[in-house]
Structure 1
Amino acid sequence: MIKIFDHYFHRRTFLQMCFDLGLLVVTVAVAVLWRTENPASVSSVVLAVTVLSAIGILVINMGLGFYQRVHNRTLGQTRARAVLSLCLSLSLAYIIFRLSPLTPQDEKTFLLALIAAVALLLIHRIYMAHATPRAMMRQRVLVFGSGERAKLVGRTLKKSDPSVDLVGYYASPNEAVAEISAWALLSPQKSLTDIVIDERVDEIVVALSERRGGSMPLRELLDCKLHGVRVVDIATHFEKTFGQIRRDSVSAGWLIFGDGFRQGLVRTVVKRIFDLLCATLLIVLASPVMLLTGAFILLESGGPVLYRQERVGLNGRLFNVIKFRSMRLDAEPDGKPRWAQAADDRVTRVGRFIRKLRIDELPQLFSVLSGNMSLVGPRPERPYFVDKLTQELPYYAVRQSVKPGVTGWAQVRYHYGASVEDAAEKLQYDLYYVKNHSLFLDLVVLFETVGVVLMGKGAQ
């Protein structure tokens, strides 16, 4: 894993994005400059247009899921996304070219080179999406422990990370009950250090159910680290591998004494300026869509078009969130809050459509301008659910240390929550965001939100 501005990227994903960016920039820039009589006169303009186009194409591919390490798409579905990416990429690049100071004679060369580069890139993306990672890109992991926690680590690795080779489990003598089958346990006759060297282990995940009574061989773990092997505890493993802080593997001490949870003045000011600029731009761009949405709601079920609902914001302060009305006027006749469900019968026909494309969330941009919300942050919940979840879920109140967001890390990583269990799962992603939030992570969330909207994932 590679850590960039407190956010973890898988090494394979990072290298793929760098390769694609370089392929686009080099191919187009070289082709245009080669066809130009005086390359020095246009080199800076060509480079700027090419880089801008390449970044836009990378955002489109990210939104379409081409950089996901784990997916369940068929080859045909990946090809269909590649065709969509080609259409969107060329349209975006053509618009950028038309707005640039490049001359018309550069157009043919620019577009032909771009078509070739994007086609080559997408062929490579399709191959990488369905190919088994090569040995040099694979990671060999040993789990230290044989209890329930070790079993959880092994199960999630096998299910969610195809680039990992699970070497096996090394049992601690102090774990009374082994949850791992005997064939997966490594020989206790050899020391941990010898097994790590013999099996060419890259990382050890310490996943002990019990750490007291000398259950951890600290000297051997230190020797492994001195041999260049990464040694991480279970909480850090889930944080860097899956972008979540699991409630069942973290302690208050780990949260207090570990890195992260920085809420400095500079971060607050930068985030506020970013929110104001982006919210203003999005309101201007989305205003035709919002006007049409309001008209369709009026035609289907009459007014009101918008509805206000009390939500919990920063530090527990209450505010009214504004959204397009997507449910019937009598959605809660008894006044008791209810979770939104899949195929909810309270949702209108227009409401179902605008929820699928997240159009109903657009009026929340005005809450961003007023300062009650941020563009990126945990989902704002109703006071009734906050009180209930705070009592049932440890660390739930940590979410309120940052402003709630129109979109967020939990929203793009997990489907719409409809129960306490769903809220518990999403809390693990919210904790990761609160711990590691930065402008860079906000941009990552916004890019992934594009993919969520395009694919209509998680809407209810």
Structure 2
Amino acid sequence: MASITSYLPMQRRNSQFFKRLILSRKLQLLLGFFLTVLLPALFIWDEALWNIADAAHWTTFFAITLAYGGTLSILQRLSRLPGARGYLLSIPVTSVCFAIPFVLFNFITIEPNETLYLASYLLTALSSTAGYWIAQNYHQLKLAVVPFGKAPSLCQIGNVKWHSLDMPSLGELRVDGVVADLHADLPPEWERFLADCTLHRIPVYHATTTYEWLTGRVRLGHLYENRYGSLQPDEGYEVLKRCLDLLTVLLTLPLTLPLMAITTVVICLESPGAVIFTQQRMGFQCRPFTVYKFRSMFINQQGMGYTENNEDPRITRVGKVIRKYRVDELPQLFNVLKGDMSLIGPRPESMDLANWYHRDVPFFHYRHVVRPGISGWAQVEQGYAAEVDGMNQKLEYDFYYIKNISFWLDLLIVIRTIRTVLTGFGSR
């Protein structure tokens, strides 16, 4: 017998033709191309626009087209990641995408049309920022929840309009998707309901997966569902990541070495003791290694052994500044060159803390399946955590990173790390 819900007018949110047209990525891409590339070209160029032999104009047109396409492509990928706010990412992403072709112009003899280039850059940055801001503030995700298993617990997550279902039917309710615990023992009528949702092109999401992409965390209690194999990082990307680490460190050394020299001087002037602090940390595959940091504490000053409640009498005045803006981490660039660390990854813990967490936190050692990093997903999302409860949450962020490790997630962490350096978020 067919399910009665098959005869009900089930439609997902924004399924009407005019809404699908307005929200179409392809239409937005074409309108944006007209606004940011074609329109300024028509206003700024004169008859030289139609002169095929004018290489400077056509090279500029080709460059801003690539920059515009690269900006939208990267923003779309980054905005899908948990907690990503496209309107905050649009200006840095647009700047980089337009800067790369402009720098390349310095290595060729053709001079770009700077007025057109600047106009296209400003319009792209403005339109992408405005578009993502409107989407962020006026289009809240709307999800229906099947009341079985772990699914109802998701209703506590904010920034989502949740609708708990009391019967296997949406009625006239329009949603972006339906969330269900697919591992729960669902009654037959609810299984038919989920099948009907799929037939009517209403997405059905598993509760565990939904939790991960909404929070950017993998619950420790859900590791048995992920299996250890699914948390195995991509070996191909690990090779690429290592090459990018080396290239980035070598290219930034001309900027970081003078800053490290200045930091060395002010540390020596403030208090006696070695400039570089070394400590044994738990590293890749649980192998201990020596981490390098600028000393930010007094010598022989007593304390708890870790920062508690953002207060530590061992920290010097210079130490507070270099910790806040992460300058104390700069010597770890040499750890990256040695292969002990990566630029992005779970933060390495001291051997004492690692052994403590291993006793109290399930699956703690699994975070060492990748190289530790100078910055990481947990640092930009949570900040510093020393207590076991805070470490549990930090570990959930680390597992999400390991499970979803990719170039785009690393790029988002880099952008947020820059924000962290400028604002001092999560300092200790």
TM-score by length of 1: 0.72
1:289 aligns with 2:259: yes
Deviation sequence 1:247-294 (CA, Å, 0-9, x none): 24x14143247x452443x23321211111112122232222111111
Aligned to 2:17: none
Aligned to 2:282: 312
Aligned to 2:421: 453
> In structure 2, do the counterparts of structure 1 residues 301 and 398 end up closer, same or farther at CA, with 3 Å as the change threshold?
same
> In structure 2, do the counterparts of structure 1 residues 30 and 377 end up closer, same or farther at CA, with 3 Å as the change threshold?
farther
Q: In 2, distance between residues paired with 1:197 and 1:118?
A: 41
Give the superposition deviation at 1:154. 0.7
Q: Contact 1:33/1:39 (CA < 8 Å) preserved in 2? A: no
Q: Contact 2:358/2:365 (CA < 8 Å) preserved in 1? A: yes
1:458 match: secondary structure:
coil
Q: Contact 2:64/2:120 (CA < 8 Å) preserved in 1? A: no
Q: Contact 2:276/2:295 (CA < 8 Å) preserved in 1? A: yes
Matches within 5 A, 1:35-74: 36=48, 38=51, 41-42=55-56, 43-48=58-63, 51=66
Work out which of the residue numbers 209, 217, 228 in structure 2 matches 1:244: 217
Matches within 5 A, 1:241-390: 241-248=214-221, 250-256=222-228, 259=230, 261-264=232-235, 266-331=236-301, 333=302, 337-339=305-307, 341-390=309-358
Identity %: 29
> In structure 2, do the counterparts of structure 1 residues 89 and 105 end up closer, same or farther at CA, with 3 Å as the change threshold?
closer
Aligned to 1:8: none
Q: In 2, distance between residues paired with 1:282 and 1:292?
A: 16
Deviation sequence 1:383-434 (CA, Å, 0-9, x none): 1111111222222221011110111111111121131111111111110111
> In structure 2, do the counterparts of structure 1 residues 52 and 281 end up closer, same or farther at CA, with 3 Å as the change threshold?
farther
Aligned to 1:437: 405
2:138 match: secondary structure:
coil
1:198 match: secondary structure:
coil
Q: Contact 2:342/2:373 (CA < 8 Å) preserved in 1? A: yes
2:145 match: secondary structure:
strand
Deviation sequence 1:161-183 (CA, Å, 0-9, x none): 2xx4322x23xxxxxxxxxxxxx
1:419 aligns with 2:387: yes
Q: Which runs of 5+ in 2 are unaligned?
A: 1-22
Q: Contact 1:372/1:403 (CA < 8 Å) preserved in 2? A: yes
Give the superposition deviation at 1:107. 2.9
Aligned length: 396
> In structure 2, do the counterparts of structure 1 residues 52 and 289 end up closer, same or farther at CA, with 3 Å as the change threshold?
farther
Aligned to 1:144: 146
Q: In 1, distance between residues paired with 2:74 and 2:196?
A: 42
Aligned to 1:74: none
2:248 match: secondary structure:
helix
Aligned to 2:366: 398
Give the superposition deviation at 1:315. 0.9
Matches within 5 A, 1:200-219: 200-207=174-181, 211=184, 217-219=190-192
> In structure 2, do the counterparts of structure 1 residues 204 and 91 end up closer, same or farther at CA, with 3 Å as the change threshold?
closer
> In structure 2, do the counterparts of structure 1 residues 364 and 395 end up closer, same or farther at CA, with 3 Å as the change threshold?
same
1:310 match: secondary structure:
strand
Q: Contact 2:41/2:116 (CA < 8 Å) preserved in 1? A: no
Give the letter for the 1:312 counterpart. Answer: M
Matches within 5 A, 1:106-255: 106-115=113-122, 117-119=124-126, 122=129, 131-133=137-139, 138-145=140-147, 149-156=150-157, 159=158, 161=159, 164-167=160-163, 169-170=164-165, 186=166, 188=167, 192=168, 195-196=169-170, 198-207=172-181, 211=184, 217-248=190-221, 250-255=222-227
Give the superposition deviation at 1:437. 0.9
> In structure 2, do the counterparts of structure 1 residues 56 and 407 end up closer, same or farther at CA, with 3 Å as the change threshold?
farther
CA-atom RMSD, angstroms?
Answer: 4.2
Q: In 1, distance between residues paired with 2:83 and 2:43?
A: 31
Give the letter for the 1:459 counterpart. Answer: S
Matches within 5 A, 1:6-25: 22=33, 24=36
Q: In 2, distance between residues paired with 1:345 and 1:398?
A: 33
2:378 match: secondary structure:
helix
Q: In 2, distance between residues paired with 1:277 and 1:89?
A: 17
Give the letter for the 2:331 counterpart. Answer: P
Q: In 1, distance between residues paired with 2:390 and 2:30?
A: 37
> In structure 2, do the counterparts of structure 1 residues 124 and 139 end up closer, same or farther at CA, with 3 Å as the change threshold?
closer
> In structure 2, do the counterparts of structure 1 residues 33 and 274 end up closer, same or farther at CA, with 3 Å as the change threshold?
farther
> In structure 2, do the counterparts of structure 1 residues 441 and 27 end up closer, same or farther at CA, with 3 Å as the change threshold?
farther
1:196 match: secondary structure:
coil
Give the letter for the 1:106 counterpart. Answer: N
Deviation sequence 1:215-254 (CA, Å, 0-9, x none): 9943433333333232233211111222211224x14143
> In structure 2, do the counterparts of structure 1 residues 370 and 227 end up closer, same or farther at CA, with 3 Å as the change threshold?
same
> In structure 2, do the counterparts of structure 1 residues 219 and 256 end up closer, same or farther at CA, with 3 Å as the change threshold?
farther
